[in-house]
Amino acid sequence: MSQYENVRVEKEEGIFWLTLNRPESRNALDAAMLSEIEKAIDEAEKDEDIKVVIIQGEGKKSFAAGADIKQLHDKKPLEALVPGMQGLYDKIESLNKATIALVNGYALGGGCELAMACDIRIAAKQAKIGLPELNLGIIPGAGGTQRMARIIGKGRALDMILTGKMIDGKEAERIGLANYFVQEVEDLTGEAKIVAGKILKKGPVAIQLAKMAVHKGYDLDEGTAMWLEKISQAVVFGTEDKKEGTRAFIEKRKAEFQNK
């Protein structure tokens, strides 16, 4: 396993735990942190034993408080065109594993965008979620304008972005920004294991193709998206995992998927 300074990585029975480990700065996403997140994601992607990646922030106060403002201050116009954080979050969204974000506290700006790049979000009541970039004279630039609108709708997204307001975990669940809600931060890990446990029972090829069909199909016209789904289904039908899954169902036993 690779060595890290700004993140912590642990593997546990098919789960890859990625912890943002700069609690003294509310897990702010500086260049070093982002580089290590990408390195960890690449490590998880190559590990065939991993089906679920769970991203969380160290401590009880912050998931990720956003980009490092001092580094952001000196950026020039052309630097905004470099993939950077947006490219990393695109990689997380298209990862061949299921991804879960555990939002324990502050998830602002780039931190909110990181959570939205994950497939599933679990938020504690004390979470503080928002896109306050307009307060700095800029706009969300790591997918925030697009992913938030897709997740909660254009009207709610514009309200969040233009006012810069923060919402807690309960409100995030109510409007669909969070998939699950827990009352206490201490309950996040247990809830994550329950959700991950359901995913771990699924075939890894099916997980990957289901994600691809949803993400890629979303921006296509319905007919083309349906064709993409059919092609994905055809690919799955040619796998050993499909044979094992259907055979296990007929034989009334647990399927043993082999990622083939």
- Cα–Cα distance for residue pair 55/96, rounded to 1 Å: 15
Residues linked to residue 129 through DSSP beta bridges, in sequence order: 107, 167
Output the CA angle 89-195-48, nearest 5 degrees.
Answer: 60
Q: In the annotation, is 10 catalytic? A: no
85 to each of 75, 82, 90, 114, 193, how far by Cα in Å? 13, 9, 9, 9, 28
User: CA-to-CA distance for 34 and 111, rounded, in angstroms?
Assistant: 11
Q: Which of 38, 113, 191, 229 is catalytic?
A: 113
CA separation for the pair 65, 28 (Å, rounded): 5
End-to-end CA distance of the chain: 24
Catalytic-residue membership of 133:
yes
How many angstroms separate the CA atoms of 115 and 220, rounded?
A: 24
Catalytic hit among 133, 191, 222, 256 = 133
Identify the helix (H) or strand (E) that includes residue 98. strand 98-103
Classify residue 148 as exposed, middle or buried by CB count within 10 Å of its CB (0-12, 13-18, 19+): buried
Residues forming the active site: 113, 133
